[in-house]
Each structure stands twice: as C-alpha cells, then as structure tokens.
C-alpha cells in the first residue's frame, strides 16, 4: 500500500516536472522576439525606445491612443513622450504595463487618461474578475497570451534573438483624419450633483498605479480628453475627488472646450468617442500649455540623447507630412 | 462563470476542491453545497430567490407525500381492511393534488421567468389583430441560471417520491445541493435524485484514480470546447449573422460547422461537468452516445442529450400514454389498421416534441424545431411498414450507411432551424443552399473570418479525433471515459497531450471570439 502511494506521488511529480518543462519550452517558442508583437502594436513601441529617454508617458484606453499626440508636443516643446494604451484598457492592465515601462524608463510625469477608469460596456462582477485574472496571468506567464504565435514560428530559426528596438513613428498615437459627423454639442457636461463611482477594483488599481509612479520618481497627472459620448459631469466630479485624494493634478479638457476652440464636428473621428488627429493635436497642445502654466517647464527640456533627437526629428517630419493635404 | 474560464478552474474549483479535501468524509458535501451556493450567487444573484422557492416547495411537497405514505402504512395494521382501503384511496387523491400543486409551482415559475414575454407577445399580437387595446406588459425579469435544468430535476424528484421510487429527503440542504450542484446547474446533465442526490451527500474520500479520470475527462471536454467549438464559432457567427451575404457552399459549410460546434460545445461541457463531479467522487449519467452514428432520428435522440430525452419519456410520454384518455383512445383505434393504431402514440409524441422544442427557448423557432422532429419521426412511423416490405435486410451495411447519412442530413436541417436568428432567416439560408456554389467564395470568406489554413486543419483534425473516439466507443473498445483504459501511463500521457493541445491550439485570447457555452443560454 505504502509502495503504491509512493509510486503515485513519484508519478505525479514526474508528470508535473515534464509538463512544466514542456510549457516553459513552449512559452519560449511562442513569445515574440520583437517587441512589436508583445503588446497592442503601437503601444509596444515604447519598449523599443532608448533607455531613460522619455519625459512623460500617457496611459489609457483607445481614447488616449486616438486623442493624445506626443509628436505635437515634441514639435512644440521638444519634449519626448509616448502614449501607451490599448482598446478597452482598464487600470489593472495599466498597472502591469507601468511596471514594465518603469524597467526601462524614468518619466517625470505619468498621465492617466480617464476613459480607462470606467467600463465602456457593462460587465458583470464575474466577468470583471475574470478579466483581472487574465490580465495578471498575462503578466506573470506569457504563454496564454502568445500561444497562437506558434503559427509564426520559423522552423529554421525557432528561437531568434530578442530584438526590442522597434519604435512607433507617432509614439503610440493612432493617426486618423476621418470626420465622424458628430454634431456640435456641449450638453454632455451639464452640471449635476451626482457622482459616477468607478468599479472598486479599478479605483484600487489606480491608487496602486499612483504609488508605483511615486516609487519610481514620476508624478501622476489625471487627464480627461474630450469624449462627448461617454464623459459626464458626474464622472468629472468623481474623478476630481479621486485625483484630489491621491494628490494628483486633474485636467478635464471637457471643461475647456470653448477655451481651446474645440469643434466636435471637425475633431471626432466617430460619434463622439475618439478624437481624430487634428483633434488630438489641438487637445494635446492645449493640455501641454495648461501644464506649463501650472508647472512651468513641465513640458520642456527633453532627456533625449543626440542620436535620439536625430531619430525623433525625422519622425516629427513624417508627422507634419501627415497634416499636409 | 464559464467552465472553460480561468476564473472557474483556478479561482473557484481549486479552492472548493481544497476545502473538500480538508473536510472529514462525512462532511465533504458541505464543501459542495457551499461551492454551489457561491457559484449560483455569483452567476445569477437574482435567480437565487426563484431557486429557493423551487427548492422549498419541492422539499415541502415531498415531505408531505412521505408523511401521507407513512400514515397509510401505520394505519394499515390498526384498522379494518375496508377502512384501510378507503384511506389508501383518499391518500392517493391527496398525493395527486400535492404533486399537481408542486408541479404547478415549478412550471409556473418557469413560465413566468422564462416564457412570460414570449406568450405575452403572442397574446398581444392576437389582441392587435382583434383590435383590442388591453395588452399584457413586457416584464424585465432576469432568467435564473439553469432554470430549465433544475426545474426538470425538481419535478422528477417529487414525482419519484410520489411513485415511491425514491425516499423523500429529510435534510433540505441535501435537496438544495441536488438541485443546484454547481457543475450540473448550468447545462445538466439532468440527473435523477437516485442517480446523483444520494451520491453527492454520501461519505466519500479522496481517490487518486477518480481524481485522475476526472482530470482526463475535463481535459477532453476542454479540448472539444476550446480547440474545436470556439474555432467553429467564428465562421458560424459571421455567416448566420449576415445570412444574405453568402452563397450555397459557405452556408452549407456554416451549417456543418454549427453542427460540429454544438456537439463539441455541449458534449465538451458535459465532459467537463462529469469530470468535475468525478473529482469529488460523484458519477453522473452520460448525455451523449456517439449520436452521429444513429441510423434514425429516433435513435439520434436516444443518443443526443440523453438525459433530456429520458426525462420526457419518463415524465411526459409514458404518463400520457398510460393515462385514462389515452387508454380509451387506444381502445377506440385498436384493430382499425396500422395507421389508426399510431394515433395515440403520435398524439403523445406531439406533446413531447412541442415541449422539447419550447424547453430550449421562448421563441417560435424552437417550437418549430421541436415540431420538425415530430414531423420527421411521424413520417418515419408512417413509412416504416411499407419500407419494411421494400427492404428485407435492414442490417445490411449499405442500408445502415444510408440510414446514418439520412439522419445526418435531417439533423443538420434541424440545426439550421435551431441556430438561425428567426424562422425567416432559416428559410432564407435553406433556400441559399440551392444557389450556385463557387469554391473561391469559401477561401475569401475564411480570410474575412480571420481563420487561416492552420485553423481549418485543426478543426478537421479535431473532428477526426472526435470521430475516432466515437467509433471506438460504438465498437465497445476500452476508453478512458468509462474507466477501462489500461495503464496509468497511457492516461497520464493523454492528459499531458490534451493540456498541451488545449493551451497551445485553443481558440482563445486576442485573435479569437470565444463563445459562451451554448446550452447555458437555455
């Protein structure tokens, strides 16, 4: 009986060992060598940036990648930054992303775009929990995320050298010049005494993000880009109090639409959710000017090296060219 | 909480299993009960009230039935025979009332929560046609998780107590566990109390071999769901979602893909369910028995969703067939020829298939789906006699093959009705099967669906693996499922291969639109 039990335990141990080795081998096999395929394409370009070269990083959802233009700030102030986000991103994912970013970058500011604070589509608590679990798993074990990459494995060179040098020409911004036909309205910011609380997990992870930023010497800034479809005054009020509670600056551009001469019919690429590139440029430059007013030199001298400037200047010319009819 | 999700496997099942392991043998069922309650509250918090009402009513009625039976047996010896007979008759009537009330509560809850809006829309349409102003309101009710499954279990339990096939449970918690046992509450199998109720609460110990076989069964179920069904889902959703856009070949491919998807999805889920139960030392009935090897539609339904078929047989078909009105009908038609003899059976079949169709959902298409099978089976009965004269040797290989192919075609048409958004959509897609076939269309369509040649190869190989498994099963070979596969190493190797296949080849994550388990929607 005892012998049988020892046999079972030994068998299980061998099984676990073989399985772990196989999964480890497969993880190595399917994890992309190039940083280009590690995250959502444009976001993963940040991993290819020169070490400690970024002065600020913007994190958030598709609203951030559509509505923030790092190259516009670079052209105006010579300040290097990156917008690093993904569709439907939420703060738990942002937290894990920031942990990766801080391994290579030491930005002065981390700017949190607030669309990622709320669920765009209603999800149940169980679905949200599942999503957090998957996000966490993705961080600790790459295999489930990249499992489908086995199709791309080159049989001649199945384990190519790691290549984390790819960068995105527009630093994470998804360029788009569409006009969504959104009618001009500013009613969505009508005053209200209500508050729109965030999901508890998102709030908790935002606070963790803030702590992480400060541990790494970065100051958190909270930014709401114009978003007529989803942004509301109750959300504004709630986020304002949240930002205050962690001592972070909060700038809601939805409250400055007149000041920045924002034209919804020209600046949305869709029905009032995502900005197009002219909208992103306008909103980003206005935000930078506000920041420079409040914190002189916030978007000023860059940490770029000489070769870095060369690289960025070339990319800025391409950015300008996009605006040339 | 889907059974193929990380949340279920690691954040739910693992802790429940850990608690189950820690508890002493006689108390292990506490872990199952607590797990089931937590599972239900997470998945369907508003449905918990309906489950509680259902369980309480079933418990009270079963206890009342048991009490009456006890009173009769006590009185039997103490009173004159004549009085005892009278008492027995009166108790029998009372018992019938109790069962009637109990079934009424269960069916009433089901009708209210799942079917009210369906019937209300029918009544309102009729009111519109008659020019009436008063209309039934549309209720915004959350359908409790697994209501179609636990309602049938509740009815079977109370009827079985009435029939004295099982003893009424004294412990309410044990009855509740039977009704909402977390693996079975979502998609079944629809268990009888004497099959699973007692086993769930029986004293049990950790058994390595049960654990291993449970894990193997779960891996096999995950393979079917994650590798095959999820891949088919992308093709099926797109084609069925835009029915007018595709020509015959693609529609045909989508229908076949849906049949494969539904089988892989449902049988995969049942394998995960049975595997999970086996981890806890509980054996659950099979729900599938190589259905695509069936030679007739009737045989198909004896092999597909077996527990639903047997439920309708035992609690609708037989009681109806043996009821007084049917007995008198049988008397009237007796000796009036083959076709007249079929009338009582056909009438009972009509009731069964109408209910089977509606059980799947509150929609006209499900009703038609049930009646489609009724029509097919009735036709089968009608032509059986003349066909018997034409074909002498029905067991000939060719005739068997023809039967399997014919059944497969019939089932696929049924699947088209079942999956299409509406009956009109089903008809349009059926009609498009007869439009010109262009082989080039399929490759274009597959590219637009993000399915590449690797995906097609995986689906094809996966389907072949399932077919081989079914063939082995039909031929009576040793299979891991029934615990007769020889050798621990063979099983360990199978588990190993399945884990690698599911994690590496599974259609999950960024590039795929994985679907929820289909029958969880019923």
What residue segments make up the domains of chain A, in order of their start?
A: 35-323
Residues of B with CB below 8 A from A18's CB? 496
- Out of B1, B492, B510, whose CB is closest to A126? B1
Could you count the other beta carbons within 10 Å of the beta carbon of residue A266? 14
CB-based contact (8 Å) between A16 and chain B?
A: no
Mean pLDDT of A256-281: 92
Helices (H), B361-474: 364-390, 397-419, 423-432, 439-448, 453-474
Tally of structural domains, chain B:
3
Q: Is residue B111 part of a domain?
A: yes
The pLDDT score that the predictor gives to residue B338 is: 76
B222 with B402: CB under 8 angstroms? no
For residue A134, give every residue at least 6 positions away whose Cβ sits within 8 Å of its Cβ, in sequence order, or none: A144, B6
CB-based contact (8 Å) between A188 and chain B?
A: no
Q: Is residue B94 part of a domain?
A: yes
Q: Is residue B290 part of a domain?
A: no
- Out of B6, B11, B499, whose CB is closest to A19? B499
Q: Is residue B27 part of a domain?
A: yes
The pLDDT score that the predictor gives to residue B477 is: 64
Residues of B with CB below 8 A from A41's CB? none
Q: How near does any CA of chain B get to the CA of A271, in Å?
A: 24
Asked if residue B192 and residue B107 are part of one domain, the reply reads: yes
- A190 — phi, psi (to 5°)? -60, 140
Q: How near does any CA of chain A get to the CA of B106, in Å?
A: 28
* Least confidently predicted of A162-166, A199-203, B368-372, B383-387: B383-387
The reply to whether CATH 3.30.70.100 applies to domain A35-323 is no
Tens of pLDDT along chain B (522 residues) come to 788 888 888 889 999 999 999 999 999 999 999 999 999 998 888 889 999 999 999 999 999 998 888 877 777 767 777 777 787 788 888 999 999 999 999 999 999 988 888 888 888 888 888 777 777 787 777 889 899 999 999 999 999 999 999 999 999 999 999 999 999 999 889 999 988 888 898 888 999 989 999 999 999 999 999 999 999 988 888 888 887 777 788 888 899 999 999 999 999 999 999 999 999 999 999 999 999 999 999 999 999 999 999 999 999 999 998 888 888 888 888 777 777 788 888 999 999 999 999 999 888 899 999 999 999 999 988 887 777 777 777 777 888 888 899 999 999 999 999 999 889 989 988 988 887 766 666 666 666 666 788 888 999 999 999 999 888 877 766 565 555 555 778 889 999 999 999 999 998 877 676 666 666 666
Asked if residue B521 and residue B385 are part of one domain, the reply reads: no
Name the range with the highest mean pLDDT among A90-94, A160-164, B365-369.
B365-369
Query: Quick one: what percent of chain A has pLDDT higher than 70?
Result: 97
Q: With an 8 Å Cβ cutoff, are B496 and A15 in contact?
A: yes
Asked if residue B194 and residue B56 are part of one domain, the reply reads: yes
Sign of the dihedral through C-alpha B479, B480, B485, B489: positive
Q: Is residue B335 part of a domain?
A: yes
- A281 — phi, psi (to 5°)? -65, -45
The pLDDT score that the predictor gives to residue B5 is: 84
- Out of A18, A125, A144, whose CB is closest to B509? A144
Domain boundary among B378, B396, B419: B419
Asked if residue B195 and residue B242 are part of one domain, the reply reads: no
ipTM score: 0.80
The pLDDT score that the predictor gives to residue A222 is: 96
The pLDDT score that the predictor gives to residue B514 is: 64
User: Of B224, B169, B137, which Cα lies nearest the Cα of B56?
Assistant: B169
Question: A interface mutation test: which of B1, B2, B4, B7 has the most A CBs within 10 A?
Answer: B7
The CA distances from residue B50 to A281, B180, B361, B418, in Å, are 55, 12, 18, 28
Exposure of B321 in the CB half-sphere (CA atoms within 13 A) = 16
Domain boundary among B203, B218, B236: B203
B301 with B373: CB under 8 angstroms? yes
Asked if residue B175 and residue B34 are part of one domain, the reply reads: yes
User: Is pLDDT at A115 greater than 80 in this prediction?
Assistant: yes
Q: How near does any CA of chain A get to the CA of B510, in Å?
A: 7
Could you count the other beta carbons within 10 Å of the beta carbon of residue B115? 16
Asked if residue B59 and residue B106 are part of one domain, the reply reads: yes
User: Of A67, A64, A110, which Cα lies nearest the Cα of A88?
Assistant: A64
CB proximity under 8 Å: A 115-154 to B: 125-126, 129-130, 133-134, 137, 143-145, 147-148, 150-151
- Out of B488, B499, B511, whose CB is closest to A148? B511
Domain containing B245 equals 207-284+423-522
CA B351 to chain centre: 18
Q: With an 8 Å Cβ cutoff, are A130 and B7 in contact?
A: yes
The pLDDT score that the predictor gives to residue A122 is: 63
CB-based contact (8 Å) between A301 and chain B?
A: no
Which pLDDT band, with edges at 50, 70 and 90, does A121 fall under?
low
Asked if residue B99 and residue B114 are part of one domain, the reply reads: yes
Range list of β-strands (E), chain A: 56-60, 81-85, 109-113, 219-224, 249-252
Q: With an 8 Å Cβ cutoff, are A26 and B506 in contact?
A: no
A221 with A248: CB under 8 angstroms? yes
User: Is pLDDT at A119 greater than 60 in this prediction?
Assistant: yes
Q: Is residue B238 part of a domain?
A: yes
Helices (H), B14-79: 14-22, 28-43, 47-78
- Out of A19, A23, A129, whose CB is closest to B7? A129
Asked if residue B429 and residue B388 are part of one domain, the reply reads: no
Q: How near does any CA of chain A get to the CA of B42, in Å?
A: 7
Q: With an 8 Å Cβ cutoff, are A126 and B488 in contact?
A: no
Asked if residue B184 and residue B83 are part of one domain, the reply reads: yes
Asked if residue B280 and residue B197 are part of one domain, the reply reads: no
Asked if residue B303 and residue B273 are part of one domain, the reply reads: no
Residue of B nearest to A145 (CA): B509
The pLDDT score that the predictor gives to residue B141 is: 78
For residue A9, give every residue at least 6 positions away whose Cβ sits within 8 Å of its Cβ, in sequence order, or none: none
Asked if residue B192 and residue B114 are part of one domain, the reply reads: yes
């Amino acid at each position: 009986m005892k012998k049988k039990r020892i046999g079972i335990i030994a068998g299980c141990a061998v099984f676990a060992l073989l399985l772990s080795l196989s999964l480890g081998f497969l993880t190595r096999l399917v994890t992309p060598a190039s940083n280009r395929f590690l995250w959502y394409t444009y976001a993963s370009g940040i991993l290819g940036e020169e070490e400690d070269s970024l002065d600020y990083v913007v994190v958030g959802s598709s609203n951030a990648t559509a509505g923030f233009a790092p190259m516009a700030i670079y052209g105006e102030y010579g300040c290097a930054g990156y917008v690093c986000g993904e569709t439907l991103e939420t703060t738990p994912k942002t937290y894990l992303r920031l942990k990766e970013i801080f391994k290579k970058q030491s930005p002065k500011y981390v700017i949190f775009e607030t669309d990622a604070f709320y669920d765009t589509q209603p999800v149940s608590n169980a679905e949200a929990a599942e999503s957090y679990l998957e996000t966490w798993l993705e961080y600790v074990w790459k295999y489930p995320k990249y499992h489908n990459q086995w199709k791309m494995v080159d049989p001649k060179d199945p384990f190519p050298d790691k290549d984390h040098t790819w960068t995105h020409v527009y630093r994470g911004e998804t360029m788009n010049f569409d006009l969504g036909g959104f009618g001009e309205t500013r009613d969505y910011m009508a005053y209200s005494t209500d508050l729109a609380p965030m999901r508890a997990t998102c709030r908790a992870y935002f606070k963790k993000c803030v702590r992480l930023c400060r541990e790494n010497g970065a100051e958190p800034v909270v930014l709401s880009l114009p978003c007529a479809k989803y942004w509301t005054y109750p959300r504004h009020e709630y986020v304002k109090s949240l930002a205050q509670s962690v001592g972070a600056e909060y700038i809601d551009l939805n409250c400055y639409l007149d000041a920045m001469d924002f034209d919804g019919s020209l600046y949305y690429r869709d029905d009032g959710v995502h900005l197009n590139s002219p909208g992103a440029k306008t909103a980003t430059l206005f935000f930078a000017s506000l920041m420079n007013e409040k914190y002189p030199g916030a978007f000023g001298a860059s940490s770029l090296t000489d070769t870095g400037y060369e690289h960025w200047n070339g990319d800025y010319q391409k950015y300008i060219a996009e605006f040339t009819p | 909480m889907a059974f193929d999700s990380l949340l279920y496997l690691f954040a739910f099942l693992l802790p429940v299993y850990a608690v189950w392991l820690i508890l002493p043998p006689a108390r292990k069922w506490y872990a199952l009960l607590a797990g089931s309650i937590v599972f239900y509250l997470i998945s369907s918090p508003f449905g918990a009230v309906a489950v509680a009402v259902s369980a309480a009513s079933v418990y009270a009625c079963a206890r009342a039935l048991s009490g009456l039976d006890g009173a009769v047996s006590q009185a039997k010896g103490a009173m004159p025979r004549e009085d005892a007979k009278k008492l027995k008759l009166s108790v029998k009537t009372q018992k019938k009332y109790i069962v009637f009330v109990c079934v009424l509560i269960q069916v009433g809850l089901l009708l209210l929560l799942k079917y009210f809006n369906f019937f209300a829309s029918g009544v309102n349409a009729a009111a519109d046609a008659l020019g009436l102003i008063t209309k039934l309101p549309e209720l915004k009710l959350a359908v409790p998780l697994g209501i179609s499954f636990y309602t049938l279990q509740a009815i079977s339990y109370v009827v079985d107590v009435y029939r004295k096939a099982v003893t009424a449970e004294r412990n309410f918690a044990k009855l509740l566990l039977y009704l909402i046992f977390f693996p079975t509450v979502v998609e079944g199998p629809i268990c009888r109390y004497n099959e699973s109720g007692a086993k769930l609460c029986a004293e049990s110990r950790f058994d390595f071999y049960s654990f291993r076989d449970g894990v193997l069964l779960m891996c096999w179920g995950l393979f079917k769901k994650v590798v095959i069904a999820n891949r088919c889902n992308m093709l099926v959703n797109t084609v069925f979602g835009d029915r007018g856009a595709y020509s015959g070949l693609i529609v045909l491919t989508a229908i076949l893909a849906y049949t494969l998807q539904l089988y892989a999805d449902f049988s995969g889920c049942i394998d995960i369910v049975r595997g999970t139960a086996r981890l806890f030392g509980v054996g659950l009935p099979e729900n599938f028995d190589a259905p695509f090897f069936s030679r007739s539609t009737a045989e198909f339904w004896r092999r597909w969703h077996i527990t639903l078929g047997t439920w309708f047989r035992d609690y609708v078909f037989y009681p109806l067939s043996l009821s007084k009105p049917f007995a008198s009908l049988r008397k009237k038609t007796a000796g009036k020829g083959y076709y007249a003899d079929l009338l009582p059976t056909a009438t009972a079949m009509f009731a069964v298939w109408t209910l089977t169709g509606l059980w799947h959902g509150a929609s006209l298409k499900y009703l038609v789906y049930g009646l489609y099978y009724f029509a097919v089976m009735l036709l089968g009965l009608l032509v059986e006699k003349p066909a018997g004269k034409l074909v002498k040797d029905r067991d000939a290989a060719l005739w068997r093959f023809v039967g399997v192919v014919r059944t497969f075609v019939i089932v696929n048409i049924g699947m088209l009705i079942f999956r299409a958004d509406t009956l009109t959509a089903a008809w349009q897609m059926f009609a498009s099967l007869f439009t010109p076939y262009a082989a080039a269309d399929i490759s274009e369509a597959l590219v637009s669906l993000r399915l590449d040649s690797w995906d097609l190869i995986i689906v094809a190989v996966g389907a072949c693996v399932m077919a081989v498994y079914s063939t082995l099963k039909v031929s009576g070979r040793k299979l891991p499922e029934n615990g007769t596969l020889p050798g621990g190493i063979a099983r360990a190797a199978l588990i190993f291969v399945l884990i690698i296949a599911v994690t590496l080849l599974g259609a999950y994550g960024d590039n795929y639109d994985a679907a929820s388990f289909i029958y969880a929607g019923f």
